[in-house]
Structure 1
Amino acid sequence: MQSFDDPRPVAGEDRCPGPSTRDIILGDGCDVPDALIAESYAFLGDGEIAYDRYISSDAMNAELEGMWSRVWQWACRVEHIQEPGDFYTYDIGRYSVIVTRTQAGEIKAYRNACLHRGTQLKPSGSSGAANDLRCPFHGWTWNLDGSLKNIPCRWDFPHVQDEEYRLPEVSVDTWGGFVFVNLDPDCAPLADHLGPLADHFSGRWDLTDRRIRLHIQKELPTNWKAAQEAFLEAYHVYETHAQALATAGDANAQYDIFSDTVTRFVHTIGTQSPHYEGEQTEQEIFDKLRLSEPAVVPEGKSARSVAADILRRQIGEASGVDLDSYSDSEMLDSIEYHLFPNMCLFPGVSLPMIYRFRPHEEDPGRTIFDLLFLEMVPEGTPMDYPPEPIMLGVDTSYADAPGMDPGLGAVYDQDTDNLALQYRGFKGSKKRGQTLGNYQEARIRRFHMTLDDYLAQA
């Protein structure tokens, strides 16, 4: 044990000088949800993360067999399967799942493979409506509840017993308007996986009644873990988003490890980065936020409070939602939760994103990145079907997606433009692992620890 007079620093205790995220949020003078100012960090070690787990086909196969086949993961939104017969296919590596709503109104999920000769019943990436699940090869057909409906030339299959040829079910559950699936028939309940996330996202952070405004799907030239990790820390803002240092509290950001499966960071907007050289007035900070509406910051007010007031009014008028009770932090800040293995959720108002990172088939060097904007709607708004995903290639800018804010699209380009360089570095580096910060990159370490737990139990 380290003694009180030991001059060595205690690992994981160092923080950036200056006000903490919690200090800044409480300094706004707003009522905030308890979850927003909760703190939960523990030092998790400082060993390297091997590059081979990003580039190796063996590592990819181990994840598919030991983790993806046994973990809860979100497949679609409830809006995708509103009516009996609606279906949505979800693919992860070699696995494909059909999510559908039965005639009785139940949500069911099945392995997407015919029990005759294995053909997928529905093409990967497809969705729509159907009265049954019919194989396009020979016409074997199942009812929406998974029971066998028809075999052409049934006389030739006396050995097929109907009950033995029900479609194999996949575990399914819902939370926050998302449909989750788990390929493991013996999996623990979804609630166990969600852990503290369910409590944090109750009340006004409940995502059930939000709606998808925009869904972008982009291929990234890297491993799915590396793509995800680019969004799990604000440490990269200093170099990747240097233009934001005047208005983003990057190094002040708070990092929380709430459970094996749930982590979070909060970094403030409308505050000056500790890296920014020189002092600014609140008016100068506000002007650099580049809101669509100019304003004067009155004496005694902050850039944050003025910006939050403008956004409350603008977004409230556009959405028809009363935002008066939402704090400045909820209106402005980057509040990002991560749910293992591949989901990022933002409960804030002006940054209402959901991320998902999946391996592209079984290629360790290709990733599908789903970027959703999940926006508030007035209470009682009828459910409608979400927009189709806009597909973007590796070299296409996010700003080219119809409906995407060009300025925000440019920021996402900055986020992912480094990924190909990093992946090439993984392959060629003499040093064979990542060196992580004890605090700012702790979420990455927790993610790998949980992944290792799954692989060890496989």
Structure 2
Amino acid sequence: MAKSKTKYVGREHGVHLEATTPAGPFYTDESRFRKEIDSFYYRSWLNVAREEQIPEPGDFVTRAVGDESVILVRGTDGRVRAFYNVCRHRGTRLVEEPEGHKLRSIVCPYHGWTYSPEGSLVGAPHTEAVIDFRKEEQGLVAIRVESWGGFLWVNLEPSAPPIAEELGRFFAKFDRFPLRELRLASRQTYEVRANWKILVENYQECYHCAPIHPDLNRITPYFSGEVHDYFVDGARMTPFSGGYMEFAKDFESMTWSGYTNRPPLTGMTDVDRRRIYYYAIFPNLFFSLHPDFLMIHRTWPHSPDRSTVECEFYFDAAAMDAPDFDPSDAVELWDLINRQDWAVCEREMKGVRSRSFKGGRYSEQEPQVYDFDEYVRRRLEEA
């Protein structure tokens, strides 16, 4: 086999050069989708929120995870807890609002059962004569929640390994940056008519960057950078994958001009300032650390062909306090890039429905795409 003259981002040799891309049912089959939600979204550590969203006792956010609803609330003791957003009486959804502040108690709108922010049942009208009824046994059903980098993570599987065991190697790569001190500057939400795996595959390669993202490709050419971590590396499997891309010329950030007057984030070395780090954390997080800000995407699947994507931008708090702070140079460019991605992902979703599509071939530039697809296959086989 002749060796390509193109610079690889990732492996020069690998199974992807012999493999076939998935056929249509990998993306369209309803039963596969339901199994993925159960095996991945209900049994993995999910990035769901930011601690700064719920700074005071009674502050809360709710999250839809598949068919489940999760509420995260800060208790009067300052601790954040997560619960199924379900009344223990007859299963009514307790809170519909996406977020709120200073919630003194959680009251079921149906029959008035009342819970403290710590999840304890404190009021249940007309249960005095109920046999063997104990309020202390009827609190909200807890969900595991942990924090890293100022983010809140939940896992609906009670027996799952601790987050440090699952993602500790990823965390160690970025612990040198004070991510907890960053502050949210912008949030955008997109409704995308595409399977969630198509969105992850898209993030796993820049093979498409030259034709789809000319502005991005001008600043960080698609052949720049290196991949350091793979979902699948031989027999080894890990729940994250990524590396970095390098700036062309003397560019400093992913902005319209490629330059910025914002200072680099604390902890950025001269080497870091020439890079953007891109990591996918399975199953729902894209983590993109720029020299002067952090951008994340969260993917939330609803059906085989419908997903919600949240995109958030975090900047240094001191930079945000400056009177001339304006993140639009980054936010607006990434909004364009996002929309370019979602549009082409939706076109792929339309195409894989065709009875003619039986799978294709991976290019030299797509080892990470192959590894993600293989990771999904192996995880489903284990489930």
Q: Percent identity?
A: 24
Partner Cα separation in structure 2 for residue 236 and residue 40 of structure 1: 18
Distance in 2 of aligned mates of 1:66 and 1:429: 27
Aligned twin of 1:354: 296
Whichever residue aligns with residue 456 of structure 1, its letter is E
RMSD after superposition: 3.1
What letter corresponds to residue 43 of structure 1 in structure 2? Answer: G
Would you say 1:260 and 2:238 are equivalent positions? Answer: yes
Match of 2:233 in 1: none
8 Å Cα contact 1:257-1:446 kept in structure 2: no
**Is 1:84 paired with 2:24?**
no
Deviation of 1:143 (Å): 1.6
- SS of equivalent to 2:181: coil
Number of equivalences = 368
**Alignment match, 2:374:** 449
Q: Equivalent residue for 1:146?
A: 119
Q: 2:262 aligns with which of 315, 320, 336?
A: 315
Classify 1:413/1:190 alpha carbon distance in 2 versus 1 (closer, same or farther; 3 Å). Answer: same
Equivalent residue number for residue 343 of structure 2: 417
CA 1:153 to 1:195, structure 2 compared with 1: closer, same or farther past 3 Å? same
CA contact (8 A) 2:24 2:354 kept: no
Deviation for aligned residue 1:213: 0.5
**Conservation of the 8 A alpha-carbon contact between 2:227 and 2:242:** yes
Give 1:121 shift.
1.1
Mapped pair 1:164 → 2:151: no
The structure-2 alpha-carbon separation of the partners of 1:41 and 1:130, relative to structure 1 and needing over 3 Å to count, comes to farther
1:270 is aligned, of 248, 253, 276, to 248
Aligned with residue 213 of structure 1, among 185, 207, 222: 185
Normalising by structure 1, what TM-score?
0.72
Hey, what's the Cα distance between the residues in 1 that align with 2:300 and 2:100? 18
- Which 10-residue stretch deviates more, 211-220 or 340-349? 340-349
Q: CA deviation at 1:262?
A: 1.7
The secondary structure found in structure 2 opposite 1:443 is helix
Q: Which structure is larger by alpha-carbon Rg, 1 or 2?
A: 1
**DSSP-derived class of the 1:432 partner:** coil
Does the Cα contact within 8 Å between 1:111 and 1:168 map onto a contact in 2? yes
The answer on whether the counterparts of 1:140 and 1:150 sit within 8 Å (CA) in structure 2 is yes
Instruction: Look up the match of 1:66.
Output: 39
The yes-or-no answer on 1:345 pairing with 2:317 is no
- Call closer, same or farther: CA 1:215–1:445 in 2, change over 3 Å: same
Q: CA deviation at 1:214?
A: 0.3
Whole-Å separation in 2 of the counterparts to 1:434 and 1:188 = 36
User: What is the deviation of 1:55?
Assistant: 1.1
How far apart in 2 are the matches of 1:217 and 1:78?
A: 19
2:212 and 2:166 map into 1 onto residues whose CA distance is: 33
- Aligned equivalents of 1:250, 1:203: Cα separation in 2: 27
| Conserved? CA contact 1:88–1:100, under 8 Å | yes
- Compared CA separation, residues 352 and 85, structure 1 to 2 (3 A): same
2:73–2:80 Cα contact (<8 Å) kept: yes
1:374 aligns with 2:311: no
| Structure 2 unmatched runs, 5+ | 231-236, 322-326
Structure 2 residue identity aligned to 1:197: F
Match of 1:193 among 166, 189, 192: 166
Q: CA separation in 2, counterparts of 1:141 and 1:154?
A: 13
Q: Whole-Å Cα distance in 1 between the matches of residues 162 and 262 of structure 2?
A: 37
Which structure shows the higher strand fraction?
A: 2
Distance 1:334 1:201 in 2: 13
Q: Distance in 2 between matches of 1:325 and 1:227?
A: 29
The counterpart of 1:52, out of the listed 25, 43, 46, is: 25
Following the alignment from structure 2 to structure 1, what is the Cα–Cα distance between the partners of residues 13 and 122?
54
Alpha-carbon contact 2:146-2:163 (below 8 Å) kept:
yes
What secondary structure does 2:39 align onto?
helix
* d(CA) in 2 for partners of 1:367, 1:107: 27
Conservation of the 8 A alpha-carbon contact between 2:256 and 2:329: no
Contact 2:226 2:244 in 1 (8 A): yes
Cα distance in structure 2, aligned partners of 1:44 and 1:157: 63
The separation in 2 between residues aligned to 1:325 and 1:48, in whole angstroms, is: 38
Aligned to 1:233: 205
Query: Structure 1 residue 200: deviation in Å?
Result: 0.5
> Match of 1:202?
175
